[in-house]
């Protein structure tokens, strides 16, 4: 694909992202349902996460790129992650959140990971008042980036049991533990570490804001 063709494709995807965002703007909770104020974003692994690393260990594959090219990747990792994400969304609805955003249910032809993250970043920033993290979220680069976005934009962050996380530093420590374990297994931890570093710095600002509010 030439540079010109690639730019044309990127412009098309950008238009699709804008169109998708416009659909979120028109959605509102159904009347009569038990509801809590605002939308909640159900952050859950899709193409990465603990399941991916366990499958890499099982096959003794060191590269994430190589694993994603494996014929069983979709069946053993992605499809199971998507199912867990749907179950998590259903759990949030059962807790009274009638407007739940489940990213795994959305698919767009020819989109890459960076296109999806461009969309979900804007969805979290513009439409979600809360972000809830599924189990094992700390192993997923997508979930960890969504956690960073929620911190930067001062969203309420909930755990798997829908309890608000007051100690964000302890929550972030889960990421560092995952990074260390990934390194111990002999896999490349840098993508997750890079996000953890940004989160650690972002939490400095959270601590400063809290000190100012108290004083």
Percent of the chain surpassing pLDDT 90: 71
pLDDT, residue 5, reads: 80
Q: For the chain, how many structural domains are there in total?
A: 1
Give the per-residue pLDDT at 37.
Answer: 57
Instruction: Specify if 122 maps to a domain.
Output: yes
Residue 206 placed within a domain: yes
74-106: pLDDT as tens digits: 999 999 999 999 999 999 999 999 899 999 888
With 0.75 as the threshold, say if the pTM is over it: yes
Q: 8 lies in a domain?
A: no
Burial level of 201, CB count in 10 A (0-12/13-18/19+)? exposed
Residue 28 inside a domain? The answer is no
- The chain-wide mean pLDDT, for the chain, equals 90
Name the residue range of residue 87's domain. Answer: 36-214
Task: Calculate the alpha carbon distances from 113 to 84, 98, 156, 184 in Å.
Answer: 19, 27, 25, 26
pLDDT, tens digit, 9 for 90 and up, residues 56-76: 999 999 999 999 999 999 999
Establish if 203 belongs to a structural domain. yes
Report if residue 178 sits inside a domain.
Answer: yes
Tokens of 99: 């407007």
- Residue-wise pLDDT for 19-66, tens only, equals 888 877 766 554 444 444 579 999 999 999 999 999 999 999 999 999
Please report whether residue 145 resides in a domain: yes
Residue 27 C-beta-side C-alpha neighbours within 13 Å? 16
Cα–Cα distance between 22 and 189 in angstroms, integer? 36
């Amino acid at each position: 694909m030439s540079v010109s063709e690639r730019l044309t494709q990127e412009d098309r995807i950008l238009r699709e992202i804008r169109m998708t965002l416009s659909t979120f703007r028109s959605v509102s909770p159904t009347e009569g349902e038990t509801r809590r104020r605002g939308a909640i974003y159900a952050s859950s692994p899709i193409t990465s996460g603990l399941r991916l690393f366990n499958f890499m260990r099982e096959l003794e594959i060191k590269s994430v790129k190589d694993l994603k090219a494996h014929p069983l990747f979709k069946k053993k990792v992605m499809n199971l992650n998507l199912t867990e994400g749907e179950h998590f969304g259903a759990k949030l609805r059962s807790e009274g959140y009638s407007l739940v955003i489940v990213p795994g249910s959305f698919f767009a032809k020819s989109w890459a990971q960076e296109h999806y993250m461009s969309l979900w970043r804007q969805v979290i920033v513009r439409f979600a008042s809360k972000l809830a993290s599924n189990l094992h979220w700390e192993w997923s680069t997508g979930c960890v980036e969504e956690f960073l976005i929620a911190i930067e934009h001062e969203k309420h962050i909930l755990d798997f049991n829908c309890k608000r996380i007051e100690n964000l530093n302890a929550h972030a420590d889960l990421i560092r533990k995952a990074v260390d374990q990934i390194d111990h297994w002999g896999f490349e931890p840098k993508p997750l570490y890079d996000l953890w570093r940004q989160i650690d710095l972002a939490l400095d600002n959270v601590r400063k804001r809290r000190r100012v509010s108290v004083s």
